[in-house]
Amino acid sequence: MLRFRDISIAKKLFIIMAIMAVLITTELVALSFTIKIFSAVRAYVGGEGLWSKAQKDSAYYLIKYAYTRDEQDYQLYLHFLKVPLSDHQARLALIKNPMDYDGARQGFLGGRIHPDDIDGIIWFFSTFNRIYYIDKAIKIWTQGDSLMNEFLQQGKQLYLSISTHHVTASEIETQLSRIDNLNTELTAVEDEFSYTLGEASRWLENIIFKLLISLAVTVEFTGIFLTIMISLEISRNINAMNKVAKKIGKFDFSERVIVSSHDEIGQLAVSFNTMINELEKSSCSLESSLEEQKKISAQLSNRTLSLEIQKSKTEIERFSKNQLQSILEGSIEYAIIATNLEGVILLWNEGAVRNYGYSADEVVEKENIWIISTPKDIQSGIAQKIFEIALQEGKAEGIFERIRKDGSHFTASAVISLRCDEEGRPLGYVLISKDITKQIQLEEQLIKNNKELEEFAYIASHDLKAPLRAIERLASWIEEDSADTLEDTSKKNLALLRQRVNRMSNLINGILQYSRVGRMGLQIHTVDTKKLVQEVIDSLNPSRNFHIRYSDNLPTLQTDDIPLSQVFSNLISNGLKHHHRVTGNIEIDVQSLGEFYLFSVKDDGPGIEPEYHEKIFQIFQTLKSKDELESTGIGLSIVKKIIESQGGKITVDSKKGEGTVFYFTWPKYPEKD
């Protein structure tokens, strides 16, 4: 079964966003449902107002008709009576089984309900008619319809009595008294209907509010939980790689990164382990080759000094050949060749046979040393130049392209030593070489791997920051959408989440920057350190309460300004950021120290206890909690790595309460490639 930690970070982010989308959609549906309910309640209350007003108006014109006997007043009575009668028809259509939707709609239209509200009213009735408050309101509505029917009958009776003139004034007063009583009873029913709808509205509001709060809390805690889970997984894997990277920096290749997942982080860990394996093989191979070459070189030097002087040039060369032959024939990995001053080959060991393909019988005293050099090196003078250097300085070395008997080419590392007699007169040369084609290919592969690793680190850092940005946006959306409903604790947790996301993003940037130190090519030019420090201070834009002073003796030197600028920027900003007061002083000075300049950056801050002097230069180490002071703990590690990459050193002199001075050395002259 596929485990969550084996899913790619992009898919994890998609799953998180899908979950959040479902929860937010649920919340929106609940909110839409709430709005629909309150809209229906509002429409019912509005309809009750229209019903009440129409009933009052009809009663008014009926009473007026009793006194005026004006037919127009009676017609107005009938006109206003249409509203409650239409609502009555709507109620009867609603309680039919099945419901008469068209009849209900026509009834509400006659009751002057807005057409856009009718569907909501019908939906509310059919959905919530079994709820206590709504059921009570419907019964009150039924009671009102019953009273309204009696009111209608009284109106008809009054009209009939007046129109036939078979009524006395006393009888009219009696009928009007009954109509007035009915009007009073209807008013009480209307008030009770409105009150019951209000109770229903408050009950529904309480239920829906709790539902929305529950959904909001579910969305928030789901997002926080998933975010923390992924953040912890990323942090754990990065810390594991950082631990192994520290050991690699000390040339300790004994440990490998534990691959705990198959996502992008897991792939990075696999590539990291592959790089360690290649580096370990390369380191062992190079160390072995150098040690072997040093031993043979020392052995040859000792033997050549013991060669006895012969009277004739031929006897001396032959004697030297015999002595070297007995010592060096056993070496098969190294090609060892002895020549006279003209380059004629006098000794050709088994290693030379294997490297160049010629047997000793084919070349000794028959061929010149130039048979192993390429035509290009011979024509350009490179082949001759190395022997001229050996003749002048006693020794020369280099890496050359060689050619075998079959015409194939390879790369060899060669050391040429001058052979002299006891009086120091040159006799010839001894050439020791080794085929290093595989080592060069391995070095090229390592360079390629390092480049690919750097590219992968950049891509991985981008992919790692992508879910962090999405998490930050989700937290912002939650905070904005639920600003009115979130409690202070929830808002504080969201702010803390966004702060942790920002910290993780800064940590990724710091790791990427730390990994690049020492791998970038230097751009050497003339740098005025006084001007450079001024530019650093301007870029940091310190508070006016801080006074930063620098010596007029800051030098001008040949170096790369970018790493030096970064060192000053980190040290000065460190003094500003960690100062315990709103006012402070920082001083920058320099001394000449042999081939180096000794720079100092001094502040009057809180100081650092001696037991932490080493800890502050370790990556991810801070003296304060990250919740007290936002810091990745990488700044001084980068400073130390930059300075040491230039051949310098950094130290700190500080005691608690006595300020801090950082000293670092920087070379006066750029190191030659």
Instruction: Verify that 541 and 583 share a domain, yes or no.
Output: yes
DSSP 8-state assignment for residue 305: H
Q: Within this chain, do residues 463 and 386 fall inside the same structural domain, yes or no?
A: no
Whether the Cβ atoms of residue 124 and residue 41 lie closer than 8 Å to each other: yes
Whether residues 453 and 466 share a domain: the answer is yes
CATH code of the domain containing 581: 3.30.565.10
| Mean pLDDT across 642-669 | 91
Q: What is the 3-state composition of the chain as percent helix, strand, coil, each rounded to the nearest 5?
A: 65, 15, 20
Per-residue model confidence (pLDDT) at position 193:
80
Measure the CA–CA gap between 46 and 40, rounded to whole angstroms: 10
Q: Running DSSP on this structure, what letter comes out for residue 4? A: G
Residue 238 inside a domain? The answer is no
603 domain residue, yes or no: yes
| Residue 321 pLDDT | 52
User: Collapsing DSSP states into helix, strand and coil, what is residue 400?
Assistant: strand
Mean pLDDT of the chain: 79
Average pLDDT for 608-633: 61
8 Å CB contact between 237 and 263: no
176 lies in a domain? yes
**Residue 169 — φ and ψ, nearest 5°?**
-60, -35
Domain edge (last residue) among 516, 534, 553: 516
Torsion angle (degrees, nearest 10) of CA 464, 470, 471, 476: 150
In a domain, 237, yes or no: no
Tell me: the pLDDT tens digits for 530-555? Answer: 999 998 888 888 888 899 999 999 99
Which pLDDT tens digit goes with each residue over 276-335? 777 777 667 656 655 666 676 566 556 655 544 344 345 445 545 555 455 455 467 889
- Residue 83 near residue 56, CB atoms below 8 Å: no
pTM (2 d.p.): 0.35
Contact predicate 563/638, CB 8 Å:
no
- Helix 169-249 and helix 9-68: axis angle, to 10°? 170
State the CB neighbour count (10 A cutoff) for residue 26: 14
Which pLDDT belongs to residue 621? 47
When pLDDT is averaged across residues 43-70 and rounded to a whole number, the result is 84
Q: Is the pLDDT of residue 654 over 80?
A: yes
Neighbours of 325 (CB within 10 A): 17
**What is the rounded average pLDDT of the residues 586-608?**
93
Helices (H), 482-592: 488-516, 529-540, 561-577
Report the range of poorest mean pLDDT among 286-295, 460-469, 574-583: 460-469
> Both 223 and 276 in a single domain?
no
Q: Does the pLDDT of residue 383 top 80, yes or no?
A: yes
DSSP assignment letter at 5: G
Rounded Cα gap, residues 85 and 51, in angstroms? 9
Compare 458 and 225 and report the one with higher pLDDT.
Answer: 225
- On the question of pLDDT at 612 being above 70, the answer is yes
> Is residue 241 a part of any domain in this protein?
no
Q: Is 389 exposed, middle or buried (0-12, 13-18, 19+ CB in 10 A)?
A: middle
Q: What is the pLDDT of residue 408?
A: 92
Residue 147 has pLDDT above 70, yes or no: yes
Number of H helices, E strands in the chain: 17, 12
Same domain, 117 and 133: yes
- Residue 563 belongs to what domain range? 525-667
Q: Examine residue 242 and state whether it is found in any structural domain, yes or no.
A: no
Is residue 233 assigned to a domain?
no
Last residue of a domain, one of 403, 435, 467: 435
Q: How far is CA 146 from CA 54, 84, 151, 640, in A?
A: 16, 11, 9, 94
pLDDT band of residue 269 (cuts 50, 70, 90) is confident
Task: Please tell me the distance from the alpha carbon of residue 212 to that of residue 609, in angstroms, as a whole number.
Answer: 53
653: confidence class by pLDDT, cuts 50, 70, 90: very high
Residue 672, in any domain of the structure = no
- CATH number at 305 reads 3.30.450.20
pLDDT-based confidence at 620, cuts 50/70/90?
very low
3-class state of residue 70 by DSSP: coil
pLDDT in the model for residue 435: 87
Domain shared by 420 and 557, yes or no: no
Q: Which two tokens stand for residue 536?
A: 């650093």
Pick from 80-89, 147-156, 424-433, 469-478: least confident: 469-478
Q: What is the pLDDT of residue 285?
A: 67
The reply to whether 507 and 571 lie within a common domain is no
- Cis before 426 (ω within 30): no
Taking residues 367-373, what's their average pLDDT? 91
Phi and psi at 584, nearest 5°, equal: -175, 175
DSSP string, 333-385: SSEEEEEETT-BEEEE-HHHHHHH---HHHHTTTSBGGGGB-HHHHHHTHHHH
My answer on whether 94 and 20 are in the same domain is yes
Tell whether 463 and 445 lie within a shared domain: yes
pLDDT bracket for residue 590 (50, 70, 90)? very high
Same-domain status, 460 and 429: no
The answer to whether residues 653 and 668 touch, using CB atoms and an 8 Å cutoff, is no
Domain end marker among 384, 406, 435: 435
Put residue 581 in one of left, alpha, beta given phi > 0 → left and psi -120 to 50 → alpha.
beta
Confidence band (pLDDT; 50, 70, 90) for 120?
Answer: confident
Cα–Cα distance for residue pair 595/593, rounded to 1 Å: 6
264 with 342, same domain: the answer is: no
Q: Is the pLDDT of residue 630 over 60?
A: no
Residue 22 and residue 128 in one domain? yes
Secondary structure element (H or E) that encloses residue 528, with its range: strand 525-528
Which residues 6+ apart lie within 8 Å of 40 measured at CB? 117, 120, 121, 123, 124
Look at the chain and report how many structural domains it folds into: 4
